[in-house]
Structure 1
Amino acid sequence: MKALRVLVVEDEILIGMLLADALGAMGYEVCAIEATETGAVAAAARCNPDLMIVDARLRDGSGVSAVEEILRTGWVPHVFVSGGTATIQALRPGAIVIQKPFRDIDLGRAIQRALDVAASS
């Protein structure tokens, strides 16, 4: 079975690299790490991810806005990561969100929830 392609959207380069390492260890293929809203939208069009891990707040743009733009072309399961989850829940009720800092097991569970939701819809 082919590894799922994951787009990581994270403006802190070290955290983006750590996420990529954790995702690789879980058996996923990271197709891009992007730090901006514009970069995320372009990368999604380029690499057609099966899953997105998205920091809600970016220095240049918004992860939430990037996801909204990307989803206009079709559904992609996604998990938001953020220091504060209430804002995301208010903007996108029902969104799968994990709070920073998190453990790899928490990320794995959130990914599974996102994939399960996508499979059932």
Structure 2
Amino acid sequence: MARILVIEDEAILGLLLSEVLAGMGHIVCGVVPTEDAAVAAAALHQPDLLIVDAGLLVGTGISAVDKILAARFVPHVFTSGNALAVRLLKPDAIILEKPFHESELAEAIALALCQTGDVPA
């Protein structure tokens, strides 16, 4: 079980994702729609994992993750309708192309939670 912060600007998608994550046994510590709210919520809640919509209406999920990682490493999974665009910006990221299946989400979460944030020398 992980404490997960969902960064998603479409309210219905954030709600649905929260329900799926809760059904998987995780705790959703927040659902936020903007880059600034994501950075603030990550500092407040200290989540174990971020599920991040790469493109937000206000700011970007990619920039939010960069700011959050500047404070401390948090494993993360990007979601996007255009995974290739995210891959070009973040070649090593875990990315789920929308729409995705629950099994793909579970696999991405397991993979992300294995990350340590260590960069090879």
TM-score by length of 1: 0.94
User: Whole-Å Cα distance in 1 between the matches of residues 117 and 103 of structure 2?
Assistant: 21
Amino acid across the alignment from 1:92? K
Q: How many Å apart are 1:120 and its aligned residue?
A: 8.2
Trace 1:1-121 onto structure 2 (pairs within 5 A).
Answer: 3-118=1-116
Which ranges in structure 2 are unaligned for 5 or more consecutive residues? none
TM-score by length of 2: 0.94
Percent identity reads 47
Amino acid across the alignment from 2:3? R
Q: Which runs of 4+ in 1 moved over 6 A?
A: none
Number of residues paired by the alignment?
Answer: 119
RMSD: 1.4
SS at 2:47's partner residue? coil
* Distance of aligned partners of 1:43 and 1:66 in 2 relative to their CA distance in 1, 3 Å threshold: same
User: Whole-Å Cα distance in 1 between the matches of residues 117 and 70 of structure 2?
Assistant: 19
Q: How many Å apart are 1:118 and its aligned residue?
A: 2.9
User: Whole-Å Cα distance in 1 between the matches of residues 115 and 79 of structure 2?
Assistant: 17
